[in-house]
Structure 1
Amino acid sequence: MKNNHSLEGAVVFLIEDDSDIRFLFTFIFEAAGAKVCSAACLTEAKSMFKDYEATIVISDINLPDGNGLSIMQEVKNRERETGKLIPTIALTGMPGEQVEENISAAGFKHHLCKPVEIDNLMEMVAGLAGNSYSTLPLNVVS
């Protein structure tokens, strides 16, 4: 992983049930200067979301207690309240056109398929946060 990115000032709201992935992403985002709020399930995420001014929301789709697509209702409510758009990234282990359509229909702006290449994830997050990441060309799947 290259180390020329900055997420200073970003608040990443991460929803991921795999504890190893959640720990890794939290570590990497915090090392880049972001504040990270993480949740292991949908219920936890929904109860915590109101307490954070998320800059970016990253959510796994297949969660133990529901479909991660439903977090978009919380995001849309927050956007209406604040008047600020919140970039969103869906994470799945399932490639395919139907999956892309479902993610897009739910309101997610971007989709990454696992396993995620860390440099691509960091570049995307930094770009969405309006911060610098200068080593790789941006490959955003929308």
Structure 2
Amino acid sequence: MNEEINRDFLNAIARIESGNVLNPVLRSKKAEGKLLKLNATNVALEAGHSRTLIGTRNSQYPHIRKRVATQTEADETVSTPNAKRRRESTQQQIARLLAEKTKQDLVNRILFTRLAQAAHQIHLLEKKAKASHEHPQLKR
């Protein structure tokens, strides 16, 4: 294990975590507002070394691979009140959002109907109030 390469990887991890990357590709991603994930590809790019040094099972730098893998797994899980679950796929997100939209559309229709009913009741009450002011003898 080369100590200089090891230090390059550790420094790259620190820069990615802090958001102060030097690599032009990663700087471009950051400038576009994209999240810089701590993964083997980004660490290798930032360190200026081959991804295979940390990205394979028989890595020459297993402690770097383990740190990156641990962070990647943490990024891919989302805490829920009861347990952890994997991030939704794009298709799952679309299906969930469509279901939420359908439910919200139903709620909106119910609220619109209630609003229309309330407006009708107000109209009838205003009409009754106007009639009783014009004809005080007509008390209903």
Same fold by TM-score, threshold 0.5 exceeded? no
TM-score, normalised to structure 1, is: 0.20
Higher-strand-fraction structure:
1
Greater RCO (CA < 8 Å, at least 6 residues apart):
1
**Greater share of residues in helix:** 2
Q: Which has the larger radius of gyration?
A: 2
TM-score, length-scaled by structure 2: 0.20
